[in-house]
Structures are given as structure tokens and as C-alpha cells.
Amino acid sequence: MGSDVEVNSPRADREAGQALPEYVGVTGLVLLVVAIVLAAATPVAADVSEQLICAVSPIVKEDGADDCGDASGGGGSPGEGYSPPSGDCEEDVAFEYVDRDGSPERTSVVQIDCVWYPNSVGCFFEHMPEDYVYNNTGDTVYLEEEIQDFVDCALGTRGGPQDDPNDESCANTTPTSEQIDEDAPPKVQVGCRVWPVPKGCEAEWAAYKDAPAGKERAARSGELATCITKRYDTMEFFCVTQATGHVESTEIQFLFFRWGDSNGTLIEKLGDGRIRIHILTGVELGAGVSGDQVGGSPISFDVAGITGYGTDKTYEFTDMQKAQDWIDWYKEYDSVNNKPISCSGARVQWTGGCGKNPHLERAEELRGEEPEHHELAEADSDIKKVKLKGGVHLTGEFGPIEVGGSAEGSYVGEVQIEDRRWSDGSRTATYSSSDIGGFMIGASLGARKPFSKDEKGKPTSSAGGAGSGDLLGKEWKGTTSTTIAWDTKGELSKVVISMDDQVMETLDKAGIDLDVALPYGFTVGGGYSTSKEKGTISKRELILDFNQYPELREKLGPTIDKMFPRDADGNLIKGDVEVGGDGAGNGVLYDAVEDYANVRKLTYDATRATESGTGGLTWQGLDLFKVTFTSVDETQTLKESSFEVTDVNGDKQTMSPAPKCKDKDFVEPPAYYSDDFSDPSTSRGSQQHDIGAEYVDNETPKFTEGTYPGTDYDGDVPGDRADRVGSLLDEYSEDFPDKNILVVKDFDNFSFSNLFGFVHLATVDGMDVIALNSGTVKNKGDGGWINWGFTGSYDYDADRKTIKFKQR
């Protein structure tokens, strides 16, 4: 059910990534706006807007620019044998347009020092030749010395590769327009890095490679660069370059602190400079936990992720000082929130109480003093069983090994199931375990071999488990995690299967052939090998990106949906997980993984120190996977990274460092930070809103004076509650015509998420009036009109009592 007003929201994604280089058409839109302004102010309006639109048309095609003119008019072109001004391409700068095959659009290119480049939109806009827009002579060739500022700008950002991705000298480098070695692997420079041309850019690569050297290839190079940039932007998850529980230094002043027996903080730094702070609450399930620290207390973390926690509220910062300011505020807030005061029994007897509680008063003050922050995500986790039905058979150097053992029997392990909700509306679900069960899940999704039979019906699998004197079952070490990501539209985005080197070492010690047992991305060729350096830990990630290969969603979606089921609201249904054994038809991802998956390897230097006063804890060699927040502090710093991709020829190419591990500095989008109270959990109290929902305050309305505060309404307040809701909607929608209006009886009965422009306007006779630009509101109570009402632009699901408001 939708409203009468249907307007798409222009709100930008709050988790937007890096801005793409200059040749991406977003900049073109800026030029278009400027063109319109100039057009309104000059007598040559048509020429101005047309030429500027054509100048940026490498990426963007705007309405009204169907014809960008031919080579001799409307801005013109010097042609092949131009003579003015000097006739020497080493002294002149020439601007031209190149036709696109089968398209009315044209691409703007420029020749400098006899080399053709895609026209640098930013440089052209900033250093436009003075007579370019107003020139009606058709002459678009200039002496280089006359437009030296443009030349310096254009060439000064097109240098060779650099280690620093933020280096301005190579920020706008695009693939060369000169001769190329067509027999060499498909690899080109975009920005400051040399990239393998990935699958998904076949058309752009073919057009670039087949174009003649010179202006035609220059025109195609911008399109190829755009494709490469977009593909790599979606291929990886963020890369953690440092994780810490306790650091004291002049650069990073975070102090690890524990609040409660199983609660703590994890601080991460990403490859693009962002800092993330996880506020973790623990979960304790008592005995019966088979995996190291999985599902039990205390919380622990390793290279494969965080385990043993109950809830996680994650904050993000682009500035170290802002992160420090927030953590300092949080430490004080945690120390006073819900803290009781103590007083003598005599005082209670004589006064009837202890008087005002200064701790509670200070907590209330601090709620209004929270420093700027960005609420990034919330997650909750649970521990469930993972069952292997039918058994798995394998052969190692010690002879036959079985997991399961009988048709009616099943292997049972445990896995931590995490459901994470990101503030942009996307979701991820992760199964993690340091037990064999986690490995089974990854193997069943990632490979054909572990859970299948050969053409003769004989088992060929190698999934690990119990056997040979319980060699695997009793000595299993290492963590496996499998993550499924859905985008803001609810569509499958990625599959990521992660294993640390201890998993491979466990299998290797049992004599298992790793090239058979492990899915593509984890095979090592010739047996297990690793640096085994003291104080070094590592993991590998197999990443399948559905944004790169959307055709795989339909093919693989049903299998993923079965293993990661979600309800109508998108929440993960946290039940036990069943994995079929031999002959169960698992491993449907194998072919896709073999052909399309990317692989990332991360190696960290790890240090740990025993927390003073805990008693009896000492250095235990390299056993860094049992580090816990309640007893040990640890820092992990990225040492090496690599990223293997499948190129347009179907070959594997490896680049180092991995793109997300040494990325351009993150640029915060508008309205990134907020100083509204975020309601974090503390040692004496949990947050007062649902996981995944946003905290909203109904105690401090913006307007308080008048019959309907904030409006000119001077009539009576209807006594009937349903009539009152209708009256409030009418009056407030009239006085706030650009806002959606929501009236509710009790905030506690509603869940608010993905809010933009939320304002609590007023409270009228027990009814709260809310204005908002966009967001999702779910009624958890009675859906009758006496309890709520809404008007504006929205979609309403009556069965789920959920409204999705859109920008009016």
C-alpha cells in the first residue's frame, strides 16, 4: 500500500565509499549545473550548456544534449592536419570529441605533448581556456604556454604508480592511449595503482584494446578506468589494518577497559584510515561449549573475527581525536549510568531514602554531551548447533577417517551465528566457529569435493572431523567464518569464506591432502606451508561478489537462503544449521568459486601482554587464538596482504597490497557525524532500543508552547483519540509541508531505523508528533488508528505494520 505522494528520496547512502577519480561522471553533473547558471547569464546560452555537457560526456549523458555537434562546429576540432596556432603537437594543446560506437554520445579527449588523454574534467573546469565557451570560430587548439595552468593540472595528476594511493601526482592516471602489448596479461594503471583488468570489464577492455592508439584509445581508456574502479570497489570487504584491546602511546591513546565479567571494547583501524569502536556485551551459556571461547565467556577476537559476545554496537570515526573524545566520554558515562549511591541504614530510617543520586544526574547531563560520532552498525549473536548428516569420509596418511560414522548418526558441533545491521540498511550474517562445524559450513558452500562422490559413487571428500584416534576432533585448532552480505535493497551482495592458517595446519597434521580437502582459494599446492614466524598470524578469504556477477544471484541464491534463512523483516532466523554429508548435493558454489571468486590473504604481526593483577597468566608461545579481553590485551597490526582476482582472460592475477588494505583516505559524506545521544550499553544497563533500530528521545520535543505546539492552531483538542490523531496529522502536515508526519501514542511500541531528518515536534495530550524526511517505522503494538497515524510519502505494509517513508 503506498501513499498518494510518490517521490524518490535523494538521500545519499550514509555508508558511501570513496569518491571515484575525476573521469567518473559525478563531476560532470557539477559542470552541468555551472553550465546552466552560465547559460542564464550570457547571450550564448545554448552554446555554453551544449559545449560543457559534451565536455563531460565520457560518463554522463544529459537530457538536451542529443547532438554534441560535428568535428567542425560548435566548439570545433582541429582535425588530423591542423595548423593553428603552431601546427606542432609538442607546442599545441588540442581538444576533440570521439564518437562512441552505436551511441549518439561523444567522449571529450585532449592532446598534450603529442599524447592523447581523456579530458580531465576537474582541470578543465578549474583552468578552462578563457575563450573556450564563447568561441564561435571552431578553433579548439591552443598554444600550450597560453593555457599552462590547465596543462600543469592535467599532467601533474597523471604520473606513474606510487605506494601512497593518496598521492596527487597520480590521482587521475588512466590507461595509456599509446601502443600496448596485446599479448601481455591485461593489467593497466588507474590512479596510483596497476590493476589486473577483472572479469566484468570484458566489453570495456575489448573496446580499449581494439581502438587505434591515439585519441580513440584515449576515449576508451576513461570508460575502462571507470569499470575497473567500480568493480574493485565492490569486490572486497573493508580491511582491518590494526585491532587492539589496549594501547598506550602518543599516537593512539585508547585505554582498554573492562565493564562486567564478559564485556569490553575492540578498536579497529581500516585501510582507508577509518577507526571503528565496538562496544561488546558478552554472552554466557555455561557448560557444553565445544569450541574454544565460542559462545562462552569471556569475549575473544582473532583474525577471523569476534566471538563470545552477545551484542555489538559499532561506531565509526574518520579522525583519531574524535574517536578519542568519544571513548573518553563513554568511559565516564559508563562509570555513572545507573550507578546507585550508598548511605547508612540510619539515614534511610530517618529520612526515608538516600536523597538525590548525583550519579544519575551526571548520567543525564552526559546524555546531552555525547561528542560527535557515527553509528555504523549493531549486531547480536547466538550459539547454535551445526549438524553433519550422513557422515563425511576421507583418507589421510593415517588411513581412513570418518566424521559421522553411521547413516542415522550425525556429527554435532557449535557455531556462533551473528546478525549485523548496518546503518545504511544493508545486512550481513556470519557463522563463525573454532570447532569443526564452522569448517563444514564453509566447505559445503565453497567446494564440490568435500561433500560429494566421484562418477563411480565413491566418496571423495575431505572435511575433517573425528577419526584416527580422534586426531582431528580432539586437536582441532583455528577459526572458520562464513559471511553472507545483502545490499540496501535486500539483494545478495557477497559470500566471504574465511579460514586462518591454524585450520590448514590442523588438517595437514592429520595427513589430509589439502588440495583435495579445501575449496579453491585455500589450496596450497604441494602441502601446507606458511611462514610460521613468531608472533605472526594469518588468514585467507574467499570472496564471491554478486555485484560483479549479478547472474549468479539467481543460481546460488536458493542454497544461501536455505542455510541463512531470514524473516519478512530481513532478520536472520538463528536456528541450528544442518549440513548434508556425502551425496547430499552440497557444494553448488564450486563452479562459481572456481571461475569467479577472488582471494585475499592477510598476515598480521601480533603482540600480547598479560594484564597486571590477574595472576598466573604467562606467555604461551604462539597460541594467540585464545586471547581474551578479560585477561589479556592484544594488538594485531597488518604486515602483508594480497588479493587474487580473475582477469578478463579467465586467468588468476595477484596484487599486493590488497586494494582495501591500502586504500585512499575515506572522505566522510555529508551529515556523517551526529551529536544526538546514541544510547550505548553500559556495565549497569543495556541500550533502550531494539538491535538495529535507532535511539529516539520522546522526552524533549522541539516545541512546547500552544495548543498544537509549533503551529498556529488555536482550536480545541479533540477528546476522541482517533479524532485527535487525524486532527494532528492535518494541522502538522499543513504547517510542515516538506516533511512526512507521524503521530504515535508510545515510543516504546515503535521501532525506528534508517532515519533521516527525524524531529520530535511536540507532545499533545499523550500523543507524540514526529516529522521526518525518510526512514522505516515499525509498529510493535496495536495497529489501530487510536494509537498512531501517518501522512506524506510512504509505502505501508499492513500485515507487518511497517511504514517506509520517502522524501516528499
pLDDT band at 19 (very low <50, low <70, confident <90, very high): very low
Whole-number pLDDT of residue 121:
79
Query: How much is the average pLDDT of 99-125?
Result: 85
- Whether the CB-CB separation of 807 and 775 falls below 8 Å is answered with no
Tell me which range, 272-286, 298-312, 366-380, 740-754, is most confidently predicted by mean pLDDT. 366-380
Torsion of CA 132, 136, 137, 139, to 10 degrees: 20
Residue from 447, 505, 450 nearest 476 by CA: 505
Whole-number pLDDT of residue 705:
92
Whole-number pLDDT of residue 731:
94
Query: How much is the average pLDDT of 262-284?
Result: 81
Look up residue 328 and give its amino acid.
Answer: D
pLDDT band at 297 (very low <50, low <70, confident <90, very high): very low
Query: How much is the average pLDDT of 550-572?
Result: 86
pLDDT band at 209 (very low <50, low <70, confident <90, very high): very high
Whole-number pLDDT of residue 800:
83
Whole-number pLDDT of residue 745:
87
Cα 455–chain centre separation = 41
Residue 161 has pLDDT above 90, yes or no: yes
- Whether the CB-CB separation of 581 and 451 falls below 8 Å is answered with yes
* Contacting residues for 686 by C-beta, under 8 A, at least 6 apart: 281, 311
Look up residue 349 and give its amino acid.
Answer: Q
Summarize pLDDT for 641-661 with one digit per residue, the tens: 999 999 999 899 999 999 999
Cα separations (Å) of 592 from 384, 550, 556, 647? 28, 12, 9, 14
Summarize pLDDT for 317-328 with one digit per residue, the tens: 998 888 888 988
DSSP letter, residue 22: T
Q: Considering only residues 430 and 435, tell me which one the structure prediction assigns the higher pLDDT.
A: 430
pLDDT band at 285 (very low <50, low <70, confident <90, very high): very low
Whole-number pLDDT of residue 603:
86
Whole-number pLDDT of residue 88:
86
Beta strands at 374-389 and 309-317: parallel, antiparallel or unpaired: antiparallel
Among the residue ranges 211-220, 459-468, 524-533, 617-626, the one predicted with the least confidence is 617-626
State what percent of residues in the chain have pLDDT above 70. Answer: 66
Q: Considering only residues 781 and 369, tell me which one the structure prediction assigns the higher pLDDT.
A: 369
Mean confidence (pLDDT) of the chain = 73
Residue from 667, 664, 639 nearest 162 by CA: 664
Cell representation of residue 625? 587464538
Summarize pLDDT for 21-33 with one digit per residue, the tens: 333 332 222 333 3
Residue from 246, 256, 243, 264 nearest 682 by CA: 264
Q: Considering only residues 510 and 9, tell me which one the structure prediction assigns the higher pLDDT.
A: 510
Residue 60 has pLDDT above 80, yes or no: no
pLDDT band at 382 (very low <50, low <70, confident <90, very high): confident
Query: How much is the average pLDDT of 52-59?
Result: 31
Query: For the packed helices 358-367 and 320-336, what is the interaxial angle rounded to 10 degrees?
Result: 150
Look up residue 49 and give its amino acid.
Answer: S
Summarize pLDDT for 35-49 with one digit per residue, the tens: 323 223 323 222 322
Whole-number pLDDT of residue 754:
81
Summarize pLDDT for 762-787 with one digit per residue, the tens: 999 989 999 999 988 988 876 666 78
* Contacting residues for 17 by C-beta, under 8 A, at least 6 apart: 233, 666
Among the residue ranges 91-100, 320-329, 385-394, 546-555, the one predicted with the least confidence is 385-394
Residue 245 has pLDDT above 80, yes or no: no
In degrees and rounded to multiples of 5, residue 98 shows phi and psi of -120, 130
Among the residue ranges 183-187, 534-538, 794-798, the one predicted with the least confidence is 534-538
Torsion of CA 141, 143, 149, 154, to 10 degrees: 50
Summarize pLDDT for 456-499 with one digit per residue, the tens: 444 444 433 333 334 455 567 778 889 999 998 889 999 998 88
Residue 371 has pLDDT above 60, yes or no: yes
Summarize pLDDT for 673-727 with one digit per residue, the tens: 988 899 998 888 787 777 777 888 878 899 999 999 999 998 999 988 889 999 9
Cell representation of residue 547? 555485484
Whole-number pLDDT of residue 760:
92
Q: How far apart are CA 229 and CA 19, in angstroms?
A: 10
Q: How many of the other CB atoms lie within 10 Å of CB of 155? A: 17
